[in-house]
Amino acid sequence: MKKGVNELSAGALMIGIVLFCTALPGQGWAASFNTDRYAPVKLTQLQATPEEYKNDRVVFTTEYSGFEIRFPPYIERSGFKPEQDFYLRVLPVNLPVMAGKKDFADPITELPRGAGLRIYGKIKQFGSSPRDTRFPRYYLDLEHLELIPADALKQEIDNEGALKRPLDFRHRPRPFGGRGTR
C-alpha cells in the first residue's frame, strides 16, 4: 500500500514540475512557437524595400550589435517607452527591431555583441513619421528570437553576402541626437 502512495505522489510531483515549467515566461511560449507562419526574407531585400513587407510576418538571420533604451522623439510618439521597450541594433540599420522588456529582458541583456540571431516578427509602420527622411519609417515587432551558432551565422553570411562587420564605422548604427565624429 505504501508503494502505491509513493508512486502516486511521484507522479503528481512530475505533473506539477511539467506544469510549472510550461508556466515560466519564455519557456512554454518558445516550445509552442510556430515558425511556419513566417516568410524567410533576405537582408538585402529588407534593407532596400521594407515597405513591401508591411504587415507581413518575416524571419531573417542577422548579427547583433547591442540595444538602446533611448529613442528618437518620433518613436516615443508612436507609443514606445524606454521603460517598457528595447531598440535592438541589428543589420539592416534601416529596420529597427522593437522588443518589449517584460517579454525579452533576460535573453536580450545576456546576448554578446556579434552573436548570430534568427529574428521572427511582423513589419509595421511607426505611428508617427520622422521629420528627417533618413530615419526609418518601418520597424519589426519582435515575436521570437533564436541564438544561432557562429559557424551557422558565417555560412548564412557567406551565402547572402549582405552582412558587414558591425564594428566597421560605415555600417555601425549611430547614436541618436548627434553627429558622429568620423
pLDDT in tens, 44-71: 888 889 999 999 999 999 889 888 888 9
Q: With respect to residue 103, please indicate whether it lies within any of the assigned structural domains.
A: yes
Indicate whether 82 and 71 sit together in one domain: yes
The pLDDT tens digits of the residues spanning 136-163 come to: 899 999 999 999 987 788 777 666 655 4
Reading phi first (left if > 0) and then psi (alpha if -120 to 50, else beta), residue 143 is in alpha
Instruction: Based on the fold, state whether residues 2 and 44 are members of the same structural domain.
Output: no
Residue 20 has pLDDT above 50, yes or no: no
Question: Do 153 and 123 share a structural domain?
Answer: yes
| Pairing of β 138-148 and β 97-100 | parallel
Residue 120 has pLDDT above 90, yes or no: yes
What single DSSP character describes residue 80? -
Mark whether 75 and 99 lie in a shared domain: yes
Domain check: are 28 and 94 in the same one? no
Q: Residues 139, 126: one domain?
A: yes
Over range 114-124, report the average pLDDT: 93
What pLDDT sits at residue 157?
65
Question: 84 and 21, same structural domain?
Answer: no
Residues 19 and 91 in one domain: no
**% of the chain residues with pLDDT over 90:** 34
Whether residue 103 sits in one domain with residue 73: yes
Same domain, 24 and 91: no
The whole-number pLDDT of residue 69 equals 84
- Work out the burial of residue 9: count CB atoms within 10 Å of its CB; fewer than 13 is exposed, 13-18 middle, 19 or more buried: exposed
Peptide bond into 92 cis (omega under 30): yes
Do residues 84 and 23 share a domain? no
CA distance 141 to 120: 9
CA pair distance 38, 44, nearest whole angstrom:
17
Q: Is residue 57 part of a domain?
A: yes
DSSP letters for 32-59: T--GGG-EE--HHHHHH-GGGGTT-EEE
Query: Would you say residue 173 lies in a domain?
Result: no
Residue 146: give the domain boundaries.
34-160
Q: Is the pTM of this model over 0.85?
A: no
Asked if the structure places residue 128 within a domain, the reply is yes
- CATH code of the domain containing 77: 2.40.50.140
Domain count, the chain: 2
With beta carbons less than 8 A apart as the criterion, state whether 84 and 101 touch. Answer: yes
